Chains A and B, each alone.
Chain A
């Protein structure tokens, strides 16, 4: 079956521009997560959705970052006024579980590589 998909796979933008990154989770998965991975580092949590609502957005680095999931399926991560330090791979994951359950396997997409020039 189809896994988590993310588009675009690569995005190059200029400093100060606005970007949107899209995630299509596995069908039926209620939980969706965004992570950011810098070169040589492990993924870093950004935000978690349960259904349409952001259950935990404590990982968003500042108010330039925002994410939505209006219909409880596809999610879009939005970054305003991009900075060179935003360059990273943005990973999306989905799971069928809910926060707090011990076993909550997250399935990751291939990521979007964002480069801010």
Chain B
């Protein structure tokens, strides 16, 4: 099928290395942010979230950093695996609806 990642910024990373994906958001009133992973032909899958009163949150192999001063989010993936190859979107929660940023494609090189 068609690739969701067509024409997207692409990060190529060696298997086992760490990946960092960045995202700028627009609304300073947003109180909740989420990172989603989307594989080709599938819907977005929740990875990790963070509230605006935090600046860092860790999950399994993933860490999200929030810098409200410059309205910037990042997702760090430790020890990247082939299964991490996908398009990654950040989203901000605006009164219940999600506003998605432009995606970043991650390609893991075995």
Q: Check B97 against A45 for contact (C-beta < 8 Å).
A: yes
A108 to B49, CA, bound (A): 15
Q: Which residues of B contact A62 (CB under 8 A)?
A: none
> Taking chain B's interface residues, is the majority helix, strand, or loop, or is none over half, making it mixed?
loop
Contacts of B100 in A (CB 8 A): 42-44
**Which residues does chain B contribute within 8 Å of A59, judged by CB atoms?**
97
Contact A99 B96 (CB under 8 A): yes
- Cβ < 8 Å to A, chain B residues 59-110: 89, 91, 93, 95-103
The residues of A that contact B8 with a CB separation of less than 8 Å are: 40
* Interface residue range, chain B: 20 to 34
Question: Provided the pairs A39-B4, A99-B95 are in contact, do residues A110 and B102 lie with their beta carbons within 8 angstroms?
Answer: no
Smallest Cβ-Cβ distance to A59: which chain B residue: B97
Secondary structure class of chain A's binding surface, majority of residues? loop
CA distance A40 to B49 in the complex (A): 23
B3-18 interface code vs A (CB 8 A; 1 in, 0 out): 0111110000000000
Alpha-carbon separation in the docked complex, A3 to B4 (Å): 21
Q: Report whether B51 and A56 are in contact in the complex, using a CB–CB cutoff of 8 Å.
A: no
A104 to B103, CA, bound (A): 21
